[in-house]
Amino acid sequence: MQDFLLSIYPWLKIGHVIFMVFWLAGLFMLPRQCIYMLDHEPGSAGEAKWAVRMGKLRKIILSPSLIIVWVLGLTIAYSIGAFSQGWLHAKLALVLALTGYHGWLVAQTKKMARGQRPLSEKRLRMIGEVPGFLLVLIVALVYLKPF
């Protein structure tokens, strides 16, 4: 099995990077969509439109990309025998944190779709930077493999 995975390794890596980009793009977009929703009164037509848009982003891009990134990433790690390497442990911890952020953000958007406003515009702008910060650390670990 490992020989087969190594033979398709470049394709696994290509898929992993592509779906990581989709996932991160969605995580950058979702807080911005929340900010746009704040301009509309709860129960208004404008709010309903943003709720539909956020739901589509979650269902069509974010959740499928998250699953594919995890499956391909773990497959790649298995195929190259990276589970014993420290850099991978650190990367997995950061990706787990990013996954937790994803889940938390999805919960916040669902609250907003129900008319609640759990986050201010300022807070949404601040949390919108989380994926970028984690991305910098993850990419550095993957390319530098410092430990």
State the binding site for heme: 16, 91
Q: Are 101 and 130 in contact (CB under 8 A)?
A: yes
Closest CA to 116 of 30, 58, 41: 41
Residue 24 CA from chain centroid, whole number:
5
| Residue ranges of the binding site | 16, 91
Report residue 4 as tokens: 């087969």
> How far is residue 67's CA from residue 126's CA, in Å, rounded to a whole number?
26
**Residue 12: how many CB atoms within 10 A of its CB?**
18
